[in-house]
Structure 1
């Protein structure tokens, strides 16, 4: 797992993992974050977008959207 801060976003790279691992890694990371932090997840699992929409709804986080570039999926949400 590779985490970094870039432009005030916390980057969580879950590339190469499949459901439910990206959400589980995000859940673990979110335990160390504070309200208002922006998380950008990098994923390759095609189901990640739907998983994170549901995760954000369940966790009361603000889902900011998803973009795709080649095989990478970029998902952003606010804690």
Structure 2
């Protein structure tokens, strides 16, 4: 897992990990985030979109969207709580 921080956005690279690990890594990362931070998750698991939609619904965070670029899925959500 790698992460890098840009202004108000953090990248979380979890390529190669499968469900439920991408969400678990994001949950662990969220312990150090400020409210309003955008999390950009880079992953290869095709089920991750559904997992992050559910995670955001349950946690109160805001799911922004998912796009597929080559073999990667780019998922963005806004950390609220």
Which of the five TM-score ranges fits, normalised by the shorter chain? over 0.9
Corresponding position of 1:51: 51
Q: Once the two structures are superposed, what CA deviation does each residue of 1:18-67 show, in whole Å capped at 9, x if it has no partner?
A: 00000000000001111101100001000000000000000100110001
TM-score scaled by length of structure 1? 0.96
- Deviation at residue 7 of structure 1 after TM alignment: 4.9
Unpaired runs of 5+ residues, structure 2, are none
Residue 30 of structure 2 aligns with which residue? 30
What CA distance in whole angstroms lies between the structure 1 residues aligned with 2:45 and 2:51? 10
SS of residue in 2 equivalent to 1:74 = strand
Root-mean-square deviation (CA, aligned residues, Å) is: 0.9
Count of residues paired in the alignment: 79
Q: 1: distance between equivalents of 2:58 and 2:20?
A: 15
**TM-score after normalising by structure 2:** 0.93
Gaps of at least 5 residues in structure 1 are none
Distance in 2 (CA, whole Å) between partners of 1:8 and 1:44 is: 24
**TM superposition shift of 1:9:** 1.3
